[in-house]
Structure 1
Amino acid sequence: MKHHEPLSRIMSRSVVTAHHGDPISKVRALFRTHGVHHIPVVNADQLIGIVSWSDILRVSFGDAFQTDERAVDATLDHTLTLEQVMQKNPVTLTETSSVREAAEILAGGTFHALPIVSGTKLVGIVTTTDLLKYLLDQF
């Protein structure tokens, strides 16, 4: 196994993002359209938070009851803001951080994605799926 492999080798650079003022309905649509499970929240290109599909499911009980999508979206947009649902100040790493550092953090099981930043600018994301693919490439 490669020791001290930088995250720049496995991170996704094309990141689906949400803007801090986006309604939750737009974020739900981003999850469905792009098939991702984590979306960093930005103000311009500055990372301010991250929202996961699990965060959205936690607040959208309608999803559990097969309610009309428009009704769920309208209810969420009128009762919550993205800032209330997202995780503020997420744990981040840099492109030069090691794959091992990311694995140690994600192995804690608290969350499954790490935004990659340069200063406060979002430049990528690493997920547990990226780490598993990296591990599979080692065999």
Structure 2
Amino acid sequence: MILTVGERMVRDPVTVSPEETLAAAQTKMHVGGFRQLPVILDEKLVGIITDRDIRQHGRQMRITKVGTAMTENVVTVTPATPMDEAARILLEHKIGGLPVVDRERLVGIITITDILRAFVELTAS
């Protein structure tokens, strides 16, 4: 049995728009316990903003927009992507999470924590 991203992803993840400030994104991250947030414009994934991106802007985060600090050309997976492939992508790119897209629309997010949790559950059986 091949475990897929769609079986373990977090559906309807918290997102930000490119027009929100980094301070607003930081608040969403803090409240939700996230290290990255997908950036959405017109229901499409346009980037990702990380806690590291925000820290780099320090005092300017109240006026700096997410769109100027986000990473574009985001590495993504689909719900059908096997979990082991998602894990390899995370390791290869040295990132902690992957937006899950279906026809350019964000449908979820999968993190290294989600993958580890699945691994622990499978090996405990």
TM-score scaled by length of structure 1? 0.82
Where structure 1 has 5 or more consecutive residues not aligned to the other structure, the ranges are 61-71
Deviations 1:92-137 (A, max 9, x none): 1110111011011011252111000011100000011111101111
Please name the residue that 1:56 is paired with.
54
Where structure 2 has 5 or more consecutive residues not aligned to the other structure, the ranges are none
For 1:133 and 1:57, how far apart are their aligned partners in 2? Answer: 28
For 1:119 and 1:109, how far apart are their aligned partners in 2? Answer: 23
Instruction: Give the one of 5, 8, 22 matched to 1:7.
Output: 5
Matches within 5 A, 1:31-70: 31-60=29-58
Letter in 1 for 2:25: V
Letter in 2 for 1:121: R
Matched residues, number: 123
Displacement, 1:77? 3.1
Letter in 1 for 2:111: T
Q: Does 1:90 align with 2:74?
A: yes
SS in 1 for 2:34: coil
For 2:53 and 2:94, how far apart are their aligned partners in 1? Answer: 13
For 1:18 and 1:89, how far apart are their aligned partners in 2? Answer: 16
Aligned-residue CA RMSD (Å): 1.4
Identity rate, percent: 27
TM-score scaled by length of structure 2? 0.90
For 1:106 and 1:24, how far apart are their aligned partners in 2? Answer: 24
Segments ≥4 residues shifted beyond 6 Å: none
Higher CA-based Rg: 1
